[in-house]
Amino acid sequence: MHRVTPCTDRLADQKLAHTLTAAAEAALAAGAILRERYGKPHQITHKGAIDLVTEADLAAETAILDLLRQRCPAIGFLAEESSMLPAAIPSAPIWVIDPLDGTTNFAHHFPWFATSIGYSEGGSLKAGVIYQPLLDELFVAARGAGAWRNGEAIRVSPVSQLAESLCATGFPYDIRRTVGEVVEALATVLPATQGVRRAGAAALDLAYVACGRLDGFWEINLKPWDTAAGVVLVEEAGGRLTDFGGAPHSPLGRETVASNGRIHDALIALLDRR
């Protein structure tokens, strides 16, 4: 796996190297399914009023679980389409899986979506893989081994002023309830930046912060599978993640802010309403 070995070669922990390779294989397998089904008619069901599931979410998740069960039988799962959200991230080794991040885009044939697989052990995130199948971009990271895109090392951007930054945000599925605070945050941050994007796949927003295409990102009500892999990517690329108050980011917390670190304090100063 030439796109993963630059990262795994830097790992003394061979078990973690094997884990990361398995995650990358699973993400590529899921990506092949999404690429094949993209743009065709979908079977769509609803998890909520605007929260969709397509047959591709389910097929991609099944493929990931099958492959990971085979390669790493001792690791458990927290997978979006087949797991309940736990009260706490378990300390046992687990995969944290979003088979298709950007389902609304995918369902509308809007070409912006990815597969995200994080790996947690002892309750903390150790490795992550995000794969964008249409651009064939594979992002991988592991603690102490850096962050990589298609085998090339990536770093967060050098932008130090919010006024020179390109940021991104997302709109949660409970937007009918949260629209006031979501729009207020956008109205506060947008005029302070060069632009704010809402592309519709939080995992890619995080991967893009990691590789410097975005300088900052924020969203409320993300789930562990949206952020697990992205957290490792952003931190290994030199970035920072917190809640809106600057406290350490929690996979089960309500608020996510990710940035290149340099604009972080300015961004949270605008977002924090405490």
Of 106, 274, 236, 225, the residue nearest 258 (C-alpha): 236
With binding defined as CB under 5 A, does residue 61 bind Ca ion? no
In the list Ca ion, ligand IPD, none, the entry touching 201 (Cβ below 5 to 8 angstroms by class) is: ligand IPD
- Neighbouring residues of 184: CB distance < 8 A, sequence distance ≥ 6: none
User: Phi and psi at residue 146, in whole multiples of 5°?
Assistant: 80, 180
Please select the residue that binds ligand IPD; options are 128, 172, 230, 251, rule is CB under 6 A: 172
Amino acid identity at 214: L
**First-to-final CA distance of the chain:** 46
With binding defined as CB under 6 A, does residue 233 bind ligand IPD? no
Q: Which of positions 218-257 make contact with Ca ion (CB under 5 A)?
A: 226
In the list Ca ion, ligand IPD, none, the entry touching 200 (Cβ below 5 to 8 angstroms by class) is: ligand IPD
Spell out, one character per residue from 93 to 112, where the chain touches ligand IPD: x when CB under 6 A holds, - when not.
-----x--xxxx--------
Please select the residue that binds ligand IPD; options are 30, 56, 60, 201, rule is CB under 6 A: 201
Our CB check for Ca ion shows the closer of 200 and 216 to be 200
Of 211, 208, 206, the residue nearest 154 (C-alpha): 211
With binding defined as CB under 5 A, does residue 98 bind Ca ion? yes
In the list Ca ion, ligand IPD, none, the entry touching 65 (Cβ below 5 to 8 angstroms by class) is: none
# binding residues, ligand IPD (CB under 6 A): 15
User: Which span sits near ligand IPD by CB under 6 A: 81-89, 164-172, 228-236, 250-258?
Assistant: 164-172
Cβ distance 27 to 137 under 8 Å? no
The footprint of ligand IPD (CB under 6 A) covers: 98, 101-104, 170-173, 200-202, 219, 222, 226
